[in-house]
Chains A and B, each alone.
Chain A
Amino acid sequence: MTPLLSVKDLHVGFGRDPKANEVVKGVSFDLAAGETLAIVGESGSGKSVTALSINRLVDFGGGRITGGRITLQRGDGSMLDVTKADESALVRVRGSDIGMIFQEPMTSLNPVHTVGAQIEEAFKLNRGLTGSAATRAAKEALERVRIPDSAQRLKYYPHQLSGGMRQRVMIAMVIASNPRLLIADEPTTALDVTVQAQIMALLAELRGELGMSMIFITHDIGLVAGIADQIMVMQNGVAVEQGALDAVLDNPQHDYTRHLLKAVPHFNGGRAVRSDGSRVAGAAPVVRVDNLVVRFPAAKGLFARAAGAVHAVDGVSFDLVPGETLAIVGESGSGKSTTARAILGLVGTTRGRIDRASGRSPRPVQMVFQDPFASLNPRLNVESLLAEPAIAAGQRRDAKLRERMAFLLARVGLPDDALTRFPHQFSGGQRQRLCIARALMLNPEVVVLDEAVSALDVSVQARVLDLLIDLQREFGLAYLFISHDMAVVERIAHRIAVMYAGQLVEIGTAASVLSDPQHSYTKRLIAAVPAIERRKQVFTVDATQVPSLVRPKGYEPQPSRWREAGPDHRVRLETV
């Protein structure tokens, strides 16, 4: 039987001399109808470029196919060599034979057209539907991806929908044409973990219904375990290992595959938590947060006045003692980052108290942000970047300060000639090390790490986490670690606080929260984390939405009541 798609010795390059700048260096694979191939690799491995070559979208990103063949069996049974096809043939292939969904649901939909218009366009282009027939088809497509109130939602613009909803809209657009092949390029990376589980379940269900083949690209080898038949591991433009899913996962041959399976953080249900530096009973906290409330006025549009308030954080209390890591987990919009910002004084608090220890440092709380590319000023060299916090605290840029810079640079594992270099000369992982060094300049007691490893590649993540743990022991730091990634949290947290819709719902030691979650939201969150050993587990599609945090003026939430679920493990009682 001829495969649906056959890629032979594919080479793709970029720039003026594509042959000299190859990003994909000889990749081959076959994909049968109805089969799913997972391409796994880190950034720069060439996995996305390989995928984009299959429908030749790579041309529009400045790439050129410099060698090899991509043979696609079209819907009418004819064979097409994609590498040689002209643009008019490719326009007919895109959409109708090959559908694609992308990583960033936030930016992948056109902001000036309604989602209805965008889905209808797919039906017009690939099925020839027009007018009310197209509208009806679009509505049915939205229902198929489980978007409630589909008739209403057709009139929405993308910015009025959440990330998960937008990704559903993308999927609705793709299934409009009933493609034979779906390419999904990190479709869930930007989504919360419970939403990720929903999207994965939806994709699996549609694949079965439509009999599509699928190419699923991801950096998370745990995620594809449940969906792929074949797996291909890529590194530096080469497929280092490929084969049937179980064979590769259970018996990896290549070192890099083994590294991906072992060295990077995978969620382990509370069995991989830290055993060092647990909390000393009765230690004086360095940060104590008592009934913190943060609200923002909610304005709707250019022509309206504030109608209510966004209850970003509603009655959060916890404390943090020296040497421990408290992880705050929750989905986007749960208020975890706002809590962190309030502790730093970056947002005003509406109510509540935040007490910070005033001990050894002029600025006892420092912060490391998510995006190491955006949080370093590109026009300042490393010396100026590191001097900034000290100067802001009124210190002089003298020999003593330079000594501390050199010490910290060595400590975070950067060469000492780094001082004269600029941020763009470092990789993502190195930049995050710079940010960590900068946060430590004033010898703080508390470091707030807001998704500090989320933007890094998985293997870099592991090394930065190890560095953070070493630094914590050495300097007796307390970490407030904000993350949505349960696998990472398991590695670094002593205690975990779970936030949902602006409120704390569960707090306790990492081991007991992860292995014995009590609150229904915590349970859902943990069940949604993909894991290799749970690869056969099937998720059911549900469309639970996080409740809106916009409350009418004067709204006050009900007082919370808590119960003890064990030593140092408290759960908020749920109102039914």
Chain B
Amino acid sequence: MNYLLQRLLTFPLVLLGVSLLVFFAIRLVPGDAIIAMLGTEAGLLTDAQRASLAAYFGLDQPVVVQYGRWLAGLFQGNLGISTTYGKPVLEVIIARFPLTIELALLSMVIALAVGVPAGVFAATRNNRPSDLVVRLFAMLGQSTPSFVFGLVLIYLLSVNFHVLPAMGSFTPLFVDPLGNLAQMILPSITLGFAFAAAVTRISRSAMLDVLSDDYVRTARSKGASQRDVVWKHALPNALIPVVTLSGVEFGYLLGGAVIVEQIYALPGLGRLTLDAISQRDYALVQGAVLFIAFNFLVVNLLVDLAYAALDPRIRLGGR
């Protein structure tokens, strides 16, 4: 537990660094929050109105003071008010998060359910035609941009065959689970395809390594069948790189999937952050990035715990 505590103690430090970076970086981008917020109507503002708006959002202060205020707010759980939505930042983010986490989870499930067996299969048929086919698909999956693949899916399944809805107003999971899933399936496949390709490639190479290890030979020498050798003896030893990769990918997905959210018109974290940047919604950008960084730290911690669960040498210590 000592280790867990140590890791948790580093969280505030990392988040502080992230907040500093994003706070000053977003202010280096040319543009004015109030002009961005009001669009063409900004021209109608008197100087006094503009000043009072700036004062309302705290934008009239020096940057360092703004940061100090923001940080102080942070400790009270207050991430500021979004200039675009006129609501507390945390509230805006939390509203978007369920969709993002659902999308990330679904695509990871697809990636692992497809990628691990495909990788294992390819490894056991090393350099035979079936291996080459799997490798070809994996290559395709990793090199096809998601907007291409997503559009192809929409065209085939929604436009031509009307199997699944392409877009429409978003249905939350708890309001209409089936409607929600029907809506989420295409985006999840789009994201999951590239993710699965990466998982396939890494499980294949990890399995190839492990299959030539001595203990695999031992398992064969005691009469274990090919199935036992592959699934019981080799796979558990090949999972560590798969977990590493999946953790990193999952962490990215929790930051939102801008392109896929755009194609399928989903209100996720990715689009929220992108819009916040183009709107110069400083508070929202800061809040979103901090939130994403926090998620990343949590996922990394979970990955480390997964290592310990997978490998007794990490769990129990020793060589």
Contact = CB atoms under 8 A, between A and B. Distances in A.
B215 A111 contact: yes
A237 B232 CA distance: 35
B92 interface: no
Contacts of A301: 315-318
Contacts of B319: 159
A168 to B, nearest CB: 14
A62 to B, nearest CB: 9
A109 B215 contact: yes
Given A60-B217, A61-B212, A160-B316, 8 more contacts: A91-B223, A107-B214, A112-B311, A159-B313, A301-B316, A301-B317, A302-B314, A303-B2
Interface string B158-187: 000000000000000000000000000000
A110 B219 contact: yes
Nearest to B314: A302
A479 interface: no
A486 to B, nearest CB: 26
B310 interface: yes
Interface in B98-120: none
A170 interface: yes
Contacts of B225: 91
Nearest to B307: A302
Contact of B213 (A107, A125, A160, A176): A107
B93 interface: no
28 contacts: A61-B217, A93-B223, A94-B223, A95-B221, A95-B222, A99-B222, A100-B221, A107-B213, A108-B214, A108-B218, A112-B236, A112-B310, A113-B233, A121-B228, A122-B222, A125-B223, A126-B222, A159-B313, A159-B319, A160-B316, A170-B218, A173-B218, A173-B222, A299-B317, A301-B317, A302-B314, A304-B2, A305-B2
A109 B318 contact: no
A185 B306 CA distance: 36
A96 interface: yes
A159 B226 contact: no
Given A102-B214, A108-B214, A303 B221 contact: no
A202 B217 CA distance: 23
Nearest to A111: B313
A174 interface: yes
A388 interface: no
A55 B214 contact: no
B226 A87 contact: yes
A94 B222 contact: yes
A122 B311 CA distance: 22
Interface string B285-317: 000000000000000000000001011111111
Nearest to B210: A110
B142 interface: no
Contacts of A99: 221-222
Given A55-B221, A94-B223, A100-B221, A110 B237 contact: yes
Contacts of B13: none
Contact of A302 (B213, B220, B223, B315): B315
Contacts of A93: 223
A126 B225 CA distance: 12
B215 A303 contact: no
Interface string A42-66: 0000000000000101001100000
A157 interface: yes
Contacts of A98: 221
A104 interface: yes
Contact of A107 (B215, B220, B313, B314): B215
B224 interface: yes
A299 B3 CA distance: 12
Contacts of A110: 215, 218-219, 233, 237
Contacts of A109: 215, 218
A121 B221 CA distance: 12
Contacts of A170: 218
A198 interface: no
Interface string B205-247: 0000001111111111111111010000100110000000000
Contacts of B25: none
B1 interface: yes
A561 interface: no
A424 to B, nearest CB: 19
B311 A94 contact: no
Given A94-B223, A95-B223, A174-B222, A157 B215 contact: no
A211 B291 CA distance: 69
Contacts of A100: 218, 221
B64 interface: no
A159 B215 CA distance: 13
A540 B213 CA distance: 34
A100 B220 CA distance: 10
A92 interface: yes
A177 interface: yes
A300 interface: yes
B4 interface: yes
Contacts of B313: 111, 157, 159
A93 B221 CA distance: 9
Contact of A303 (B3, B212, B226, B310): B3
A245 to B, nearest CB: 26
A300 B317 contact: yes
Nearest to A160: B318
Given A301-B317, A302-B315, A125 B224 contact: yes
Contacts of B215: 107-111
Q: Which 9 A-B pairs have the closest CB atoms?
A: A95-B223, A301-B317, A107-B214, A100-B221, A157-B312, A95-B222, A110-B215, A94-B223, A159-B318
Given A92-B223, A303-B4, A102 B218 contact: yes
